[in-house]
Amino acid sequence: MGANGWSAVAGVGSTVLALAAVAIALAAYRSERRRARFESARALHDGLTTGEVAAARAITGYLHYGEFHGDSHDVTAGLNAYFTLLWCFERIEAGRTALLRDSFRGGAKGDGAVQYLDSLIAWHVAEYACGLATARRKLAEAAGRNVSDPRSTVSFGHLLHALQDGGLVDRSYQVAVCPGATCPCDCHQVSTT
């Protein structure tokens, strides 16, 4: 092989090496991107179970499952807890929308990170579809006036409908109102013991 032949071989070799480097960099980028997306999903779910939201859950849990004859102090604490939870779901919905928008695959269901997030939050959303509606009703009864929350419930509604469309949450649940007889929530189970 002449000098020209060897330089052609060397040229092909360096091109192959350059392509391999690009492939490795691309694989590393995809792996890091995937890790970051799952981390975002995990952090969004963490927001539901830590800090002020965890404290708010204790109060709304009492409103959801217990008898409520609260005084004005209890009503104020209940309303704070109610809105704390709605705003938490608002942050989750915004984070989920951002993850979904940047999904490379998965169509309307999103990629693995979105599906991971949905699987983590589905039962919480189902629980609070009835729970927040019930808390809302009891707080309004105790306060003698309606709870004004038309904007605060919008994101929760988006989240609920997305999870219902994905088959992860029962279709009977509605936003801001318990559907009554058809509601699958545990709070309606009559104890037989």
Residue 190 carries which DSSP code?
Answer: P
Minimum Å gap between C-beta 36 and Zn ion is 36
Phi, psi (deg, nearest 5) at residue 73 = -65, -45
Interaction site with Zn ion (CB under 5 A): 130, 178, 183, 185, 187
Q: Closer CB to Zn ion, residue 59 or residue 183?
A: 183
Helix (H), strand (E) counts: the chain? 5, 0
Q: Closer CB to Zn ion, residue 117 or residue 183?
A: 183
Q: Closer CB to Zn ion, residue 41 or residue 122?
A: 122
Residue 65 carries which DSSP code?
Answer: H
Minimum Å gap between C-beta 185 and Zn ion is 3
Spatial distance between the Cα atoms of 128 and 155, rounded to a whole number of angstroms: 13
Minimum Å gap between C-beta 190 and Zn ion is 13
Spatial distance between the Cα atoms of 145 and 21, rounded to a whole number of angstroms: 66
Supply 34's token pair: 């995937």
Minimum Å gap between C-beta 125 and Zn ion is 13
Q: Closer CB to Zn ion, residue 77 or residue 187?
A: 187
Cβ neighbours for 189, distance < 8 A, ≥ 6 positions apart: none
Q: Closer CB to Zn ion, residue 94 or residue 140?
A: 140
Minimum Å gap between C-beta 54 and Zn ion is 19
Say if CB 154 and CB 87 are below 8 A apart.
no
Say if CB 59 and CB 78 are below 8 A apart.
yes
Three-state secondary-structure class, residue 51: helix
Closest alpha carbon to 139 in 85, 81, 53, 99: 81
Minimum Å gap between C-beta 183 and Zn ion is 3
Q: Closer CB to Zn ion, residue 160 or residue 185?
A: 185
